[in-house]
Amino acid sequence: MGLLNVIRRLALREKLPIREIARRTGLSRNTIKKYLKSGAIEPKFAVPERPSKLDPFADKLSAWLKTDSTKSRKQRRPLTLLFLTQN
């Protein structure tokens, strides 16, 4: 949860004094007053969709995991071995 939301919740819902909010958040009382007075909303940034680094290997890894799931625990490959065999 964003810091402005925390400050606003403590001040408006829980009716805590500014001094107590400053104590809990570690911010100065002046900063708390400035945030409450401004009424600003925290900006929300759009995160672009990024491909995973594992996408080229996803089919191979899922096939390996599917075959290893049928084996007993002692015969399964550890993740380090899966990593080494993909390179």
More confident residue, 4 or 39: 4
47 residue type, one letter: V
What does the DSSP assignment read for 7-59?
HHIIIIIS---HHHHHHHH---HHHHHHHHHH------PPPPP---TTGGGHH
pTM exceeds 0.85: no
The sign of the dihedral angle between the CA atoms of 44, 49, 50, 51 is positive
- Give yes or no for a contact between 42 and 73, defined as CB atoms under 8 angstroms apart: no
Q: Are 25 and 3 in contact (CB under 8 A)?
A: yes
Report residue 43's pLDDT band, with 50, 70 and 90 as the boundaries. Answer: low
